[in-house]
Structure 1
């Protein structure tokens, strides 16, 4: 059964600009929607009460009261993503082929991303990265491992990639080097990191091309991204979506590697010839 969140995400690309504002507000502040009248909600969002009602019709609700009732039910039974993850795994623990079932779920998530993402967008991202002279990658908390792997892989196949680590790096120095030939890859998912968003905003001001990898077209990262790659999966836990995200990123790295085979071969040969010897022992 689809929820109000599912309906907003499904309809979002076809909504008017006013309805999109309402949709973002409903997703970000469901508690407020549960308590306010349509008129009060319109004042908070900056649209008319009529726009609120028409937004509900666009989502195929009979009116505002039906949407509000569903949101109230959602808030009563809402759990954290970790609780969802824990409950799902506990329910499957005694079933046969537990490990294979989890691997098959990863497989299904990857297939869903294949169906959602436009391959032309992936080619555009790979070409932008290849043509850039400076690549910064940012992701914190659950996105850190993915960001780290992407920067590492891009350094092998392309070079000039750097993982941004606030608190370790000199952010002023790194971002002073950004220009319109630079790429900034921002990776963040639900409970979006304000740090990653602030870095994307700063990179945008410096003229960098922003690639956003996130979980929805409604992500606040959409405001800054020149190309947004939204990964819309039913799972609410990033622990379950991680393998699919890595698969998407691996495809991007592969795309960068094959744009210029001769250049990649030269990088590979240099990489394989290097022998650090005792320094890494």
Structure 2
């Protein structure tokens, strides 16, 4: 099956060839993909009045190797299609605060585990090398991704002193990246719902000859299409809020990896900082 093709378009394209029972499934998904994404094959069949085996055959008819692959594709779809209101509606299943606590933390643990299991070692190594070789580094992460961009940029700038965090402020976003060039690196951080401005900034930088590396959740993310390398990080949502726990963990790993390559330099830097912190009482040392 064509991975980069919209699932909705595939269903619409295959609809005339489907059996009567499969058409009922297709109609339900087209109208309620936000609900169908989290239904088992049995539950979906029960909802539309067909057998579980019919649901499995429906998935095969669309080109999927079983229902779980179709379900995963549906869940990828809703990351970009769902409005915040629809996400809030999905959260109605949370019966109490303790249920929320357990479900959210379990989801975060699973995101980190999946990211670790699926991480491309060569992609990570390539990213560290590019960071160390870049003349200048621009980090672009807007809206909810701002938190990751600020964290990554703050620590990388302590180690390297050539890092710019592109963010909303007194100057326009494009003004902050205006001088980007061929020896520079742009790290984009982009998770659903994807910021259009992040893609535009990365696209501008690419046209100026800069290298683009993206931290994102999927090879189908808009920035992925113009990136030299992609660090794929899981951010599956437990509710209306996307999880940025795994992206923050990956940002932390990047900082530590770069720091270990510059161990002697940062030791000298932190020795000076400790003197300043102590002299000006930056930290409470009671």
Aligned to 1:43: none
Task: Trace 1:192-271 onto structure 2 (pairs within 5 A).
Answer: 192-232=194-234, 234-235=236-237, 239-271=241-273
Decide whether the 8 Å contact of 1:34 with 1:69 is kept in 2.
Answer: no
Offset of residue 72 of structure 1: 3.9
Aligned-residue CA RMSD (Å): 3.4
Q: Structure 1 residues 69, 164: CA separation in 2 closer, same or farther (over 3 Å shift)?
A: farther
**Larger mean Cα displacement after TM superposition, 244-253 or 164-173:** 164-173
Aligned to 1:273: 275
Structure 1 distance, partners of 2:185, 2:247, is 19
Q: Structure 1 residues 195, 95: CA separation in 2 closer, same or farther (over 3 Å shift)?
A: closer
* 5+ long unaligned stretches in structure 2: 35-81
Give secondary structure in 2 for the equivalent of 1:103. Answer: helix
**Larger mean Cα displacement after TM superposition, 97-106 or 247-256:** 97-106
Structure 2 distance, partners of 1:72, 1:232, is 29
Q: For each residue in 1:79-99, what CA deviation from the matched residue of structure 2 results, as whole angstroms up to 9, or x when unmatched?
A: 436456545654344385652
Structure 2 distance, partners of 1:111, 1:278, is 40
Aligned to 2:139: 137
Q: Structure 1 residues 88, 34: CA separation in 2 closer, same or farther (over 3 Å shift)?
A: closer
TM-score calculated relative to the size of structure 2 = 0.68
Aligned to 1:59: none
User: Number of aligned pairs?
Assistant: 233
Structure 2 distance, partners of 1:269, 1:249, is 24
**Larger mean Cα displacement after TM superposition, 177-186 or 91-100:** 91-100
Give secondary structure in 1 for the equivalent of 2:170. Answer: coil
Task: Trace 1:113-128 onto structure 2 (pairs within 5 A).
Answer: 113-128=115-130
Give secondary structure in 2 for the equivalent of 1:190. Answer: coil
**RCO higher in 1 or 2 (8 Å CA, sep ≥ 6)?**
1
